[in-house]
Amino acid sequence: MKGARDYNKRILMTKRVRVFYAGRVQGVGFRMTAEETAQALGVVGWVKNLRDGRVELIAEAEELQLNRFLEALRTGPMKNFIQRIDVTWSHASDTFDEFEIRYY
């Protein structure tokens, strides 16, 4: 039974963020920076360019890890390219095994 409790506790603590970054965020290494940062922090999900010039990111991890991840992107080498950040929090889907750059 302990294993089930641990699994349920992990699921309850895991969160998801959907983030839209606007500014000059395409063609400057933003997706690669997001991927490297996510992998270093144990965050899973994906990042992709949108046709309207924004970048969309879906990430899942424990809330503390996600906050560190978002802060690293906001204050790191891409900070001068970001003009607006829209973040939506929700429950994790637990469907990702890694963080990747998507091209579709």
Q: Quote the crossing angle between the two packed helices 30-41 and 63-75, to the nearest 10°.
A: 150
> Active site includes 49?
yes
> Active site includes 31?
yes
What is the distance between the alpha carbons of residues 71 and 53, in angstroms, rounded to a whole number? 22
**Catalytic residue selected from 18, 49, 68, 74:** 49
Q: What value, to the nearest 5°, has the Cα angle with vertex 40 and ends 54 and 27?
A: 30
Tokens of 84: 């607006």
Residue 9 makes CB contacts below 8 A (sequence gap 6+) with: none
**Catalytic residue selected from 8, 18, 24, 31:** 31
Active site residues: 31, 49
